[in-house]
Amino acid sequence: MSAADLSRAQGPAPVTGPRMTPPGRGGPMPIAVGKPRNAGATLRRLGAMLSANRLQIVLALSFTLGSVTLSTLGPWLLGRATDLVIGAVSASRAIDFGALGQLLLLVGALQAVAAVLNWMQAWLINGLVQNLSREMRRQAEDKLARLPLPWFDRQPHGEVLSRVTNDIDNVTQSLQQLLSQLLLSLLHLIGVIAMMLLLSPLLALAAVVSLSLSYGLARLLAMRSQPLFVEQWRWTGVLNGEVEENYTGHSLVKVFGHRQRARDAFEKSNRGLSDNALGAQFLSGVIQPAILCIGNLAYIAVVIGGALRVASGAMTMGALQAFIQYVRQLNQPVSQISGMAAIVQSAAASAERIFELLDAPEMSPEPRQPVDAAKPLGHVAFEHVRFRYDPARPLFEDVSLEALPGQTVAIVGPTGAGKTTLVNLLMRFYEIDGGTIRFDGIDTRTMAREGLRRHFGMVLQDAWLFGGTIRDNIAYGKADATEAEILEAARACHVDDFVHVLPQGYDTVLDENGSGLSLGQRQLLTIARAFIARPVVLILDEATSSVDTRTEILVQRAMALLRSGRTSFVIAHRLSTIRDADLIVYMENGNVIEQGSHDALMARRGAYWRLDQFQVPANA
């Protein structure tokens, strides 16, 4: 059995993925996660999740409205101040500095209040979105623990990890932007257009026409650049894959003389990436200058038209000044709103992937009143067990075997025989389709999964360690392990032999690959971990990988000690190590072909005998 089987049960580790740069927009970028299938329904569901904090949303909306209204009044009041000065000068009157001061103070106060309201809405929305993000992570984490292993089999690991990390992250960042900026920009746009219409409907029309032109052009360029961005990220993925493959298989690439082929493939991907990135960046880079250019032309038209209206007395100088300021403010909300479409799409696609995970069918529910063995003895029995991973591919059709308390049962057979599957079913990583598996006479389906698994200890081929000290790695087997127990386990399993020569001893920090320790040492460490847990039933997956002879003897010795006095299932790859097992079960294509003691099976001269003959030279 590989550690992958176990790690599937233990859930994912974080990964990061590429982020996509949409045209003409700064700030956090949406991830290239594809198009949502049903954006409307997904956004409604997101909205329903957000509506749990209705009060915060209403407050944030009110603050935004207040902030935009106050800041939009600024240019108009300044225009009135200008008219006050010009009116006094042209009528050769003294300037009313009192009124002027009041107007300027009012503008300053309005801007200050608007800034405070703006800050408060950002703070509220930040809290709102972070709450949602935390809730989504919590739900995803809970869900992963409830999903059956077959679900994980169908998903690439990276895909699951990406949903829990990148997608939630993307939804959070996008919502943050959407909620704070979209509304602000929309209200700002409405406010500015309303003020312009009030000041001069004719000039307002000219400004709105120019605005529509810039928007149309921006959309056209964005549509052209979009496929190039998609290609850019596709090539980035290909290139990343190649770099990873060539880096991890560096020596193999060289040994098999594939260096030139790897270089050619890399060159192709590298060119694909740079060509598409160049096109995408060029088109998206043109958007801002084009908008700016149209905006400037409109600005000139407004200034000339406005000046003519002032000259004809249809408009005051202050009104023109205010109008020009509003024209200047028009572009920003428009470009922000146009960039939001990409964020909405990206957020909806990510949210859809998260909801897919949250809605995936779960494991069969736990029994209402789970049964457990009061004094577990370790009696395990498979009774006519039927099981298929794939309904169309038969595997276990009628498997029966029994391990009495304290017995060692060795499971042997060619690759793909079903040895790991037997363990998967025993631990209820998968549910059987028929028959019964009993633990101390209790049908395991009537036990809680956690409760059942507590009786088992596993030592797998791929010695699974986690980032932490050697002490932590041993103590992982027992939550409240004392120092004396850790030392006892370490000594019994020959871990102490190599740890006491390490400069940091038991405080030596390992990474999750256990680098710094040999394979044999890592195996000894996992044996010590099982030793300290003192489970009733042991599952040992014998190492096939070669370790040096001395370490192998130590591993064998530690495993033998671990087995003594407890029921053990040993997935054996070398028959020499299981000759003294109480029961040897020979499997092939999911069927138990033979079972009995070594001597009995040898006497039968069947499949086991043939396997033994085949292995003799290796064992000799």
Ligand X SMILES: Nc1ncnc2c1ncn2[C@@H]1O[C@H](COP(=O)(O)OP(=O)(O)OP(=O)(O)O)[C@@H](O)[C@H]1O
Nearer to ligand X, 133 or 155 (CB): 155
CB 541 to ligand X: min, Å:
8
- The CB-of-572 to ligand X minimum distance in angstroms stands at 10
Q: How far is the CB of 152 from ligand X (least distance, A)?
A: 9
DSSP tag of 439: E
Q: Which residue has the tokens 């003799």?
A: 616
Q: Is 543 near ligand X (CB under 6 A)?
A: no
- Classified as helix, coil or strand, 522 is helix
Which of 230, 333, 225, 213 lies closest to 272 in space, CA to CA?
230
- Residue 435 near residue 384, CB atoms below 8 Å: yes
State whether residue 419 is helix, strand or coil: helix
In whole angstroms, how close is the CB of 618 to ligand X at the nearest point?
16
Q: How far is the CB of 553 from ligand X (least distance, A)?
A: 23
Residue type, 565: G
Rounded distance between C-alpha atoms, residue 239 and residue 254, angstroms: 19
CB of 3 to ligand X, least distance (A): 12
φ, ψ dihedrals at 354, nearest 5°: -70, -45
Q: Quick one: 474 or 519, whose CB is closer to ligand X?
A: 519
- The residue among 153 and 267 lying less far from ligand X, judged by its C-beta, is 153
135, 141, 153, 443: which one binds ligand X (CB under 6 A):
153
* Least spacing, CB of residue 498 vs ligand X, in Å: 28
Our CB check for ligand X shows the closer of 127 and 394 to be: 394
Measured CA to CA, the distance from residue 103 to residue 97 in angstroms comes to 10
Least separation in angstroms between CB 393 and ligand X: 7
Min separation Cβ 457 and ligand X, Å: 19
Tell me whether strands 396-403 and 442-443 are parallel, antiparallel or unpaired.
Answer: unpaired
For residue 8, the minimal CB distance to ligand X (Å) is 9
**Half-sphere exposure of residue 194, counting CA atoms within 13 Å on the CB side?**
10
Nearest to 230 by CA among 277, 187, 165: 277
Nearer to ligand X, 153 or 548 (CB): 153
Q: Compute CA distances 490 → 525, 529, 556, whole Å.
A: 8, 9, 15
Applying the rule CB under 6 A, the residues between 360 and 389 that interact with ligand X are 389
The one-character DSSP state at 14 is: -
Q: Which is nearer to ligand X, 9 or 492 (CB)?
A: 9
Give the span between the Cα atoms of 538 and 150, in whole angstroms: 24
Q: How far is the CB of 397 from ligand X (least distance, A)?
A: 13
Name the residue nearer to ligand X (CB basis): 419 or 445.
Answer: 419
Minimum gap (Å) between residue 284 Cβ and ligand X? 44
> Torsion-angle region of residue 589: left (phi > 0), alpha (psi -120 to 50) or beta?
left
Cα 48 from chain centre = 23
Number of alpha helices (DSSP H) and beta strands (DSSP E) in the chain: 21, 12
Show the site string, 103-142: x = touches ligand X by CB under 6 A, - = not: ----------------------------------------
Q: Which is nearer to ligand X, 127 or 416 (CB)?
A: 416
Helix (H, G, I), strand (E, B) or coil at 379: coil
- Report residue 57 CA to chain centroid gap: 27
Strand runs labelled E in 236-374: none
Gap between the Cα atoms of 161 and 17, Å rounded = 10
User: What is the total count of residues that contact ligand X (CB under 6 A)?
Assistant: 12
**Which residue, 177 or 420, has its beta carbon nearer to ligand X?**
420
CA-CA distance, 42 to 176, in Å (whole number)?
17
Nearer to ligand X, 389 or 609 (CB): 389
* Nearest alpha-carbon partner for 272 in 311, 225, 235: 235
The residue (of 440 and 612) whose beta carbon lies closer to ligand X is 612
Alpha-carbon distances, residue 326 vs 11, 116, 400 (angstroms): 54, 22, 83
Residue among 539, 585, 611 at smallest CA distance from 399: 585
Q: Which is nearer to ligand X, 76 or 569 (CB)?
A: 569
* Contact flags string 389-428 toward ligand X, x per CB under 6 A: xx----x-----------------x-xxxxxxx-------
Which residues in this chain contact ligand X in the complex, by CB under 6 A? Answer: 153, 389-390, 395, 413, 415-421
